[in-house]
A and B are shown apart, each in its own frame.
Chain A
Amino acid sequence: MSDPLLRLSGLTKAYPGVIANSDVSFDIHKGEVHALLGENGAGKSTLVKMIYGLVKPDSGTMTLNGAPFTPPAPRAARLSGVAMVFQHFSLFEALNVAENIALGMEDAPKQRDLAAKIKDVSHQYGLPLDPYMRVGDLSAGERQRVEIIRCLLQNPKILIMDEPTSVLTPQEVEILFKTLRQLKAEGTAILYISHKLEEIRSLCDTATILRLGKKVATCTPAETSAKELAEMMVGETLHVPERAAGEFGEVLLDVNGLSAPAPSEFGTALKNVCFTVRAGEILGIGGVAGNGQDELLGALSGEVRAPAGAVSLRGKDISRLGPQERRSLGVLAAPEERLGHAAVPDMSLTENAMLSGAIRKGLVSSGFLNWGKAKDFADEVIKAFDVRTPSASNAARSLSGGNLQKFVIGREVLQDPDVLVVNQPTWGVDASAAAAIRQSLMDLAEKGAALVVISQDLDELMEISDHFAALNEGRLSATRPIQGLSVEEIGLMMGGVHDHSGANLEGAA
């Protein structure tokens, strides 16, 4: 075996109260696709940030091509041939593609030359891009291309990709994998971060698995089953909830011709969304991020008023009602963004319980707030959903993502909704919390509530939904029973091709 391109030995990084990485060592070779696998909070991001020069290790060393590698800043890492495609936060929406790319390069050429180069490289790798488009106007998949091209223009030796497929449709994933295989053939090493096991098994040569900041194993994913990988990642055998096909009751929520203008410059307009959900049914709504998920939740929760007649509960029009009025009728919601939307970061859990529970839990009488009762309700949620926190008087932001998510979902579930709309119920949540949340949603449906679960995690939707539909640019596909639906078909629905006439996919050509 040849000398490794990048060798990590004994990397350790601690934050107050958390050890993000403890004594992590592994090698990456030229032309290798190396998976970094682990749950949320396993320490993947911190490890990668150390390689990219954003964070300095407390101890341990790295060598690149045999020489010591201690990048003091991302710039130094880039100069040494390390490039990174981020999951979030690295594009500037108001700037155009070429400007965005120039910002990530050390010696960016003139705009016009750069634009020509972008066109060249993007075609060479099958990722077409217009250099003068504003990034804010691009789809999630196209934005990722911007990041990838930005990296490729610098001929990296190592390309780090952080959860690259979470924003892509299955077809777009195929295109990406083709590009990555091409890069691998050219000798580029790829460090691929993901928690999606099947992807890793099909793409990666080697996998390093992290759990609670420690390396658990390095293995060859093609020779390891998905179940084994999952168990190494989680460290225990997981209880997978089962969804029994049940009888559905009357139609509770009827959405018919729901349209709404885009709330902001970079938002998505809803266009003629139609669906129904019956008592006891879970409707899963899939789709790539930024296709109208937030807007749909807002229109159903009442944050945005819908045109008259568009949303009805048991045949009664509720389109023009606000969130509190809808709550009193039994329509509840749990938004995706935990801090700042579903909960107020600097307020206590008691105050956050008051936020949505005021009416249904009788926490308010003639305008005056009953804090005693609100605390009781918060305690009830904490107890029933196993929320780990010293007390209900702690601020929401002091909770970990998983615990806060349990609180947010629990707060709505314990109000006995007739209709519950949730967006990304398990986003960024560790596996055991995710399983508990899914179980509680299914139990709620069992009791006769109608649920709309919006999620970008297809596996999750496959697991808990009865029916499936997909959002694409604010349009909702026809609703179909989940059973018998193939990944292929789901991909087409997410890509906006609703019939099966074999339409071309943009970008595949």
Chain B
Amino acid sequence: MIRLEKRAQPSKLWTLATPFVAVVLTMIVGGIMFAMLGSDPFEAIRIIFWDPLFSEQFAAYSRPQLLVKAGPLILIAIGISMGFKAGIWNIGAEGQYIIGAICGAGMGLAFYPAESFIIFPLMILAGALGGWAWAMIPAVLKVRFGTNEILVSLMLVYVAEAFLASVSSGLLKNPDGMGFPGSRNLQQYPAAANLEIFQGSGMHWGVLTAFLAVIFAYVLLSRHMLGFQIRLTGEAPRAAKFAGVNPARIVFLCLGMAGALAGMAGMFEVAGPAGQITIDFNSGYGFTAIIVAFLGRLHPVGILLAGLLMALTYIGGELASLMLGIPGAAIQLFQGMLLFFLLATDVFINFRIRLSKTEAV
């Protein structure tokens, strides 16, 4: 009979090891899945994890794409991970991302066709504020009425999507677009475009912001009182109160940061890789970022690596669908499995397995 036995304290080794174990398990089960879909599993895994980085044929295109995809994932995941650490479950980052994109793009389009260096910073600010405001809705409701933030933040994703549909065929519609829904393309409006900082690197302003957010979050969580209070709140709410933490403040702080970062991510995306507000410009980064946050152990550096890995599966997935005809949904499932295996193996951090003769009660 297998029995779990609680460790005296969390295992540091397993804390680091479980993400890798989860990736390997996902590769194995994913490989079986690809085989069932009729593809060579080894080839599929190679195409997803190896070719985007090292194949001569694709790397030149894929490597910059890695940063383009990882940027928003990391930015959003850093924000929501603060809340997850404090036991505040903001799972509506997708909505905050959409609203940030709309506000940021709206700010830029309001100046069209003026040219000024101030426009782009104003757009960043508008994006951050938009995401922040959208996240403040669940925050205020939670603090004021004790309303469950999981459900409210998620419901607001659907509201944001309806709003996006409205503005892309209404308020922000391109007047020169010959009646097609969607805004003007910001890539073709130099003052508002989120361009690559180094040509051909994929490194646009959003990616830079993501890296800065990683550093900021690292310092906050490990060196600053606020970060310590966030961790206290999540680990033991009563002890946090004993330490003088104001729970409402932590709710506002965590949801606010997550909203602002997700809003900025949306703005950078819409002014850069996506280019324009369309009814479906958002590609689910807000949800995938949840996986990134957990895979990165809610630790800023871990999130950086997890974001890159997850970006790799996106690009590799596209490549696999191109080369082997593996459907895009398989990659989505692949990512979900990764989270599942991670949660399953996490048990070893706090427990060890014992084989015992007697039955566990």
Task: Assess the B224–A347 pair: CB atoms within 8 A.
Answer: no
Task: Assess the A398–B9 pair: CB atoms within 8 A.
Answer: yes
Whole-angstrom distance between the Cβ of A394 and the nearest chain B Cβ: 6
The yes or no answer to B225 lying at the interface (CB within 8 A) is yes
Task: Assess the B246–A322 pair: CB atoms within 8 A.
Answer: yes
The yes or no answer to A106 lying at the interface (CB within 8 A) is no
> Which residue of chain B has its CB nearest to the CB of A358?
B225
Task: Assess the B239–A367 pair: CB atoms within 8 A.
Answer: no
Contacts of A335 in B (CB 8 A): 238, 242
Known: A55-B361, A73-B361, A398-B9. A322 touches B235 (CB 8 A): no
Task: Assess the B10–A395 pair: CB atoms within 8 A.
Answer: yes
Task: Assess the B242–A342 pair: CB atoms within 8 A.
Answer: yes
Task: Assess the A356–B242 pair: CB atoms within 8 A.
Answer: yes
Contacts of A342 in B (CB 8 A): 239, 242
Question: Which residues, 187 to 232 on B, are CB-close (under 8 Å) to A?
Answer: 223-226, 228, 231-232
Task: Assess the B225–A341 pair: CB atoms within 8 A.
Answer: no
The yes or no answer to B114 lying at the interface (CB within 8 A) is no
Known: A337-B238, A355-B242, A355-B243. A369 touches B9 (CB 8 A): no
CA of A340 to CA of B236, assembled, Å? 5
Contacts of B359 in A (CB 8 A): 56, 72
Task: Assess the B225–A369 pair: CB atoms within 8 A.
Answer: yes
Known: A303-B242, A337-B238, A341-B238. A394 touches B224 (CB 8 A): no
* Count of residues in B whose CB is under 8 Å from the partner chain: 23
Contact with B along A130-152 (1 / 0, CB 8 A): 00000000000000000000000
The yes or no answer to B146 lying at the interface (CB within 8 A) is no
CA of A318 to CA of B229, assembled, Å? 23
Contacts of B223 in A (CB 8 A): 368-369
The yes or no answer to A174 lying at the interface (CB within 8 A) is no
> Which residue of chain B has its CB nearest to the CB of A359?
B244
The yes or no answer to B57 lying at the interface (CB within 8 A) is no
Contacts of B242 in A (CB 8 A): 301, 303, 323, 333, 335, 341-342, 355-356
Contacts of A340 in B (CB 8 A): 236, 238-239
Task: Assess the B239–A341 pair: CB atoms within 8 A.
Answer: yes
CA of A327 to CA of B244, assembled, Å? 10
Task: Assess the B226–A367 pair: CB atoms within 8 A.
Answer: yes
CA of A342 to CA of B238, assembled, Å? 8
CA of A356 to CA of B361, assembled, Å? 39
> Which residue of chain B has its CB nearest to the CB of A354?
B228
Candidates B5, B226, B358; contact of A16 at CB < 8 Å: B5
Whole-angstrom distance between the Cβ of A35 and the nearest chain B Cβ: 27
The yes or no answer to B36 lying at the interface (CB within 8 A) is no
Contacts of B355 in A (CB 8 A): none
CA of A356 to CA of B232, assembled, Å? 12
Task: Assess the A368–B238 pair: CB atoms within 8 A.
Answer: no
Whole-angstrom distance between the Cβ of B2 and the nearest chain A Cβ: 15
CA of A337 to CA of B359, assembled, Å? 32
Whole-angstrom distance between the Cβ of A389 and the nearest chain B Cβ: 10
The yes or no answer to A346 lying at the interface (CB within 8 A) is yes
Task: Assess the A56–B239 pair: CB atoms within 8 A.
Answer: no
The yes or no answer to A324 lying at the interface (CB within 8 A) is yes
Task: Assess the B8–A341 pair: CB atoms within 8 A.
Answer: no
> Which residue of chain B has its CB nearest to the CB of A363?
B225
The yes or no answer to B46 lying at the interface (CB within 8 A) is no
Task: Assess the B9–A395 pair: CB atoms within 8 A.
Answer: yes
CA of A107 to CA of B210, assembled, Å? 63
* Count of residues in A whose CB is under 8 Å from the partner chain: 39
Contacts of A343 in B (CB 8 A): 239
Contacts of A345 in B (CB 8 A): 235-236
Task: Assess the A367–B361 pair: CB atoms within 8 A.
Answer: no
Task: Assess the B225–A367 pair: CB atoms within 8 A.
Answer: yes
CA of A335 to CA of B243, assembled, Å? 11
CA of A340 to CA of B233, assembled, Å? 11
Known: A337-B238, A355-B232. A368 touches B246 (CB 8 A): no
Contacts of B358 in A (CB 8 A): 56
Contacts of B246 in A (CB 8 A): 322
CA of A345 to CA of B236, assembled, Å? 8
CA of A358 to CA of B100, assembled, Å? 38
Known: A303-B242, A394-B9. A368 touches B225 (CB 8 A): yes
Contacts of B235 in A (CB 8 A): 344-347
Whole-angstrom distance between the Cβ of B333 and the nearest chain A Cβ: 33
The yes or no answer to A364 lying at the interface (CB within 8 A) is yes
Question: Which residues, 234 to 254 on B, are CB-close (under 8 Å) to A?
Answer: 235-236, 238-239, 241-244, 246
> Which residue of chain B has its CB nearest to the CB of A326?
B244
Contacts of A358 in B (CB 8 A): 225, 243
Known: A16-B5, A341-B242, A342-B242. A368 touches B224 (CB 8 A): yes
Contacts of A197 in B (CB 8 A): none
Whole-angstrom distance between the Cβ of A224 and the nearest chain B Cβ: 36
Contact with B along A385-428 (1 / 0, CB 8 A): 00000000011011000000000000000000000000000000
CA of A347 to CA of B239, assembled, Å? 11
Task: Assess the B9–A323 pair: CB atoms within 8 A.
Answer: no
Contact with B along A51-73 (1 / 0, CB 8 A): 00011100000000000000011
Task: Assess the A344–B225 pair: CB atoms within 8 A.
Answer: no
Task: Assess the A54–B8 pair: CB atoms within 8 A.
Answer: no
Task: Assess the B243–A356 pair: CB atoms within 8 A.
Answer: yes
Contacts of A346 in B (CB 8 A): 9-10, 235
Pick from A16, A323, A342, A355 the residue with the most CB of B within 10 Å.
A355
CA of A339 to CA of B9, assembled, Å? 13
Known: A341-B238, A344-B236. A369 touches B228 (CB 8 A): yes
Task: Assess the A302–B244 pair: CB atoms within 8 A.
Answer: yes
Whole-angstrom distance between the Cβ of A133 and the nearest chain B Cβ: 28
Task: Assess the B239–A369 pair: CB atoms within 8 A.
Answer: no
Whole-angstrom distance between the Cβ of A208 and the nearest chain B Cβ: 25
Binding site for A on B (CB under 8 A): 5, 8-10, 223-226, 228, 231-232, 235-236, 238-239, 241-244, 246, 358-359, 361
**New contact pairs (4) apart from A55-B361, A355-B232, A358-B243, CB-CB < 8 Å:** A303-B241, A341-B242, A346-B10, A395-B10
10 A–B pairs (Cβ distance < 8 Å), ordered by A: A72-B359, A322-B244, A323-B242, A325-B244, A327-B244, A339-B236, A341-B238, A344-B232, A347-B231, A355-B232
6 smallest beta-carbon distances between A and B, as pairs: A395-B9, A324-B244, A398-B8, A323-B244, A341-B238, A344-B236
